[in-house]
Amino acid sequence: MYMLIMVLDDTSHLNDVLTAWDQAGVGGVTIIESTGLNRVLQRHSADMAFVGFSQMFGSGRVGHNTLFTVIEDLELAETAVAATEAVLGDLTEPDKGIIFALPVAKTWGLTLKK
């Protein structure tokens, strides 16, 4: 088993990525709002008045979404990455996000989607 984690840079793509993951066979995704170091530092820079103004009118993105789930194997992770790139494009391009998988030794209270 593996924990599949994605930090989605542009939150406007959240529903499309979730739909792609669901269609790829990934289930039980948990989503949390998160932010990265660069965005925190930008918010507290000397140009704070401009950043606040842009956020007031909806043009300033301040956060990410972090998605995570437990999956059976790395084959499903590869399928989820391909589905994600079909939505977002190449993940190696800037401002797309990252996906990674970590081994999970044991779980309790989990039924994996078949």
CA 93, 67, 69: angle at the middle one, nearest 5?
125
Amino acid of residue 25 = G
Helix intervals (H) in the chain: 14-24, 37-43, 48-56, 74-88
Q: Could you give the domains of the chain?
A: 2-35+63-103 (3.30.70.120)
Q: What is the pLDDT of residue 47?
A: 55
Percent of the chain past pLDDT 70, that is, above it, reads 77
Triad 97, 101, 18: Cα angle to 5°: 55
Average pLDDT value for residue range 32-40: 78
- If you write DSSP's letter for every residue of 58-72 in order, what string do you get? T-----EEEEEEEES
Average pLDDT, the chain: 85
In angstroms, the CA 80 to CA 47 distance is 38
